[in-house]
Amino acid sequence: MTRSIETFQAEAREFLDAHLDRRGEETFVWGEGSERVGVLEEKSPEQEARELAAAKEWKATEFDAGFGWITGPEEYGGAGLGREFDRAYREVASKYSMPNQSQFGIGLGMVAPTILAHATPEVKDAYLRRMWRGDIVGCQLFSEPIAGSDLAGIQTRAVRDGDEWIVTGQKVWTSGAHYSDIGEVITRTDPDKPKHRGMTMFVVDMHAPGVEVRPLRQMTGGAAFNEVFFDEVRIPDSHRLGDVDGGWTVALTTLMNERASIGGGGGGAGTMSMARLLGLARFLEVDADPIVRQGLADIFIRGAVARYTNLRASAKIRAGQLPGPEMSIGKLALTENLTRTSQLLGEMLGPRLTADGGEWGTYAWSEFVLGTPGMRIAGGSDEVMRNIVGERVLGLPKEPTPG
């Protein structure tokens, strides 16, 4: 008997009612609640540990009830249902208050799809079920201090030694590395081949001997990113993703999922909302200023266009098509909108942005402004995104290489 969407949603509602409270109507009132406004999530180690424990507990409960990986293959713990069932569950679940799941964003949004597409059966068996159940967390190890966002310039080396690879090098700006159990790492395996053809991807145990994670303190005061050092870390060949020297193809799977997540707001504007911006304008009594009103309208319109672009790209993926340039466009649009918002905040707040005068909701915006530059790097720098759009969408000539 075919399972209907209506029956599935009724089952989901029954499950969620038994475990969670329904959301109340969310309204923003100036001066009430937390005044924190950030692009990046900044938490103390204690708060992070508490939230991760709660997230894992909920993820296991959801998975064991059959709602954890709705579209996943049954042999790896998924429910084996169509994407329409996943959309139906998300629609129902959005009406309930559940623990913060952001710690799983990179692992499930970027690493797990790459494992599913390119890993050996052994690795799929070892990690996919545990990732989707929340038993383990994954991170992405791409960027390097010298190469930056240019993956073709990476220098972390992997040298074959029988049935293992020995990895040595350094990665940087790795979100969540300090609480991750596995990582997806791209390495240089043949320095004599053209840059895009001599790379290989692996799944690495983040607790393996030789792996060292160091937090990076940002100018916001938080440490959401890390640098990761590999000192002759041994990885089994069975944990290779794709072909030897075929890492660029594998990386594209991850990158497209990453830009979909960031461009769609998964790594986006944090606790910022238009309601909060409008509340600030009213508090400062500049809401009637035509320049401020134009700036607010511009931010709202550009944000809406970026969301529609991302929805179009997401629809392609749901239909089984390869993602197109919309991912890069969406990510670039998001960071440009964050920059425009920061500029408008400076115009509205003036000295209040740099000096804490004790007012609710004014100096707090400094965290948002200081966090915005980081988003210009995350998921590929704005400069890289512009090159992608220019070359692959507009058909412009490739950027000249130095030398």
Query: Is 93 contained in some domain?
Result: no
Counting the structural domains of the chain, the total is 2
Quote the pLDDT of residue 228. 98
The whole domain housing 297 covers 264-393
Quote the pLDDT of residue 272. 59
Longest pairwise C-alpha distance within the chain:
71
Spatial CA neighbour of 390 closest among 329, 338, 331: 329
Spatial CA neighbour of 126 closest among 38, 238, 30: 238
Average pLDDT over residues 33-46: 83
Average pLDDT over residues 338-362: 95
Residues present in the chain in total: 403
Tokens standing for 76?
């790896």
3-state helix vs strand vs coil in the chain, percent to 5? 50, 15, 35
* Mean of all residue pLDDT scores within the chain: 88
Place of tokens 């000249």: 400
The H-assigned helical ranges of 172-236 are none
d(Cα 228, Cα 172) in Å, to the nearest integer? 6
Quote the pLDDT of residue 195. 77
For residue 159, the domain's CATH number is 2.40.110.10
Using the predicted structure, report yes or no on whether residue 1 has a pLDDT greater than 60: no
pLDDT (tens digit, 9 = 90+) per residue, 45-100? 899 999 999 999 999 999 999 999 999 999 999 999 998 999 899 999 999 999 99
Quote the pLDDT of residue 324. 65
Using the predicted structure, report yes or no on whether residue 269 has a pLDDT greater than 70: no
Quote the pLDDT of residue 229. 98
Using the predicted structure, report yes or no on whether residue 122 has a pLDDT greater than 50: yes
Are 295 and 239 in the same domain?
Answer: no
Quote the pLDDT of residue 261. 53
Are 143 and 205 in the same domain?
Answer: yes
d(Cα 184, Cα 239) in Å, to the nearest integer? 10
Quote the pLDDT of residue 265. 45
pLDDT higher at 47 or 325:
47
Using the predicted structure, report yes or no on whether residue 213 has a pLDDT greater than 90: yes
Per-residue confidence at 270, pLDDT binned at 50, 70, 90?
very low
Query: Is 315 contained in some domain?
Result: yes
d(Cα 157, Cα 403) in Å, to the nearest integer? 24
Contact 39, 376 (CB under 8 A): no
Query: Is 190 contained in some domain?
Result: yes
Average pLDDT over residues 338-365: 95
Amino acid (one-letter) located at 75: E
Are 224 and 152 in the same domain?
Answer: yes
Are 238 and 273 in the same domain?
Answer: no
Question: What percentage of the chain exceeds 90 in pLDDT?
Answer: 63
Are 268 and 389 in the same domain?
Answer: yes
pLDDT (tens digit, 9 = 90+) per residue, 217-264? 888 877 878 999 999 999 999 999 999 999 999 998 887 666 455 544
